[in-house]
Amino acid sequence: MPSRPLSQYRDTPLWNALSAVLAELASSREITVNTDPDYVIEQLCRELTAKKLVVTAAGGSSAAR
C-alpha cells in the first residue's frame, strides 16, 4: 500500500491539538481508532478548515477563532 504524502497540517497547532485529544481518548478507551490516526487527524483538519471553524495562516499554522 503506497504511503500518503505528508499532510500540510502536520506540526501545526491544529494537528498537535487534535493528535493529543485523539491519543487521550484512545488511551482512556473512550474511542477506538481502527484507521491510521494520521489519516483521521488529516480529515479532521480538512473539515474544520473547510467549515471555517479554524483559520489557517501562511505557512500552514492554524488557530481557533
Within-domain flag for 28: yes
Confidence (pTM): 0.77
d(CA 24, CA 60): 24
Domain of 54, in residue numbers = 13-64
Within-domain flag for 3: no
Average of per-residue pLDDT values in the chain: 85
d(CA 26, CA 63): 24
Within-domain flag for 6: no
Is the backbone of residue 4 left (phi > 0), alpha (psi -120 to 50) or beta?
Answer: beta
Within-domain flag for 29: yes
Provide the domain count of the chain: 1
H or E element that contains 55 = strand 54-56
10-41 residue pLDDT tens = 999 999 999 999 999 999 999 999 999 999 99
42-55 residue pLDDT tens = 999 999 999 999 98
d(CA 25, CA 31): 6
Give the pLDDT confidence score for residue 57 in this predicted structure: 57
